Amino acid sequence: ARIVLLNGPNLNLLGTREPGVYGRTGLAEIEQRCAAMAADAGFEFSALQSNSELALLERIHACRQDDTRLIVINPAAFTHQSVALRDALAAVAIPFIEVHLSNPKAREMFRHHSLFSDLAIGVISGFGAEGYEFAMTAAIRRLRVAS
């Protein structure tokens, strides 16, 4: 059973990108922490960050073939825009947890609406890089109960 971590546009810049909003932890470190948590719990793990909607769509589609049981996704700006990514998650019907480093509801109006949250198992926002670890904890517990 596999857990897949997906990160959307501009998150490759984490660490240097608006550190007052997104913190100083880089994406490589976040991915390593999540990979270690998955490995410790006995799950396979893959991570992808892309600035391209296409690459994220194709990775979600591929989840049907690689035993992915749960997706942790920070869609970044696509949160507010991408009907296509939302539809892909609905199409593969793999449960997912939505993560945001910041709390989008405490920011500009255009960030208040997510196209993903009503389909997600749950949403973790506002805890910075640690939010990914909280999501992984939730993912691992859920998969253990399911298996």
Active site residues: 22, 100
Among 49, 50, 82, 102, binds ligand DQA (CB under 6 A): 102
| DSSP line for 70-124 | EEEEE-GGGGGT-HHHHHHHHHHT--EEEEESS-GGGS-GGGS--SSTTTSSEEE
Comparison of 59 and 100: residue with beta carbon closer to ligand DQA: 100
Is 102 annotated among the ligand-binding residues?
Answer: yes
Tokens for 134, please give them. 């909280």
Among 41, 48, 62, 77, binds ligand DQA (CB under 6 A): 77
Looking at this protein, which amino acid is placed at residue 72?
V
Confirm if 89 and 121 have CB atoms less than 8 A apart: no
Establish if 111 lies at the interface with ligand DQA (CB under 6 A). Answer: yes
Establish if 10 lies at the interface with ligand DQA (CB under 6 A). Answer: yes
> Which residues contribute to the annotated binding site for substrate?
74, 80, 87, 101-102, 111
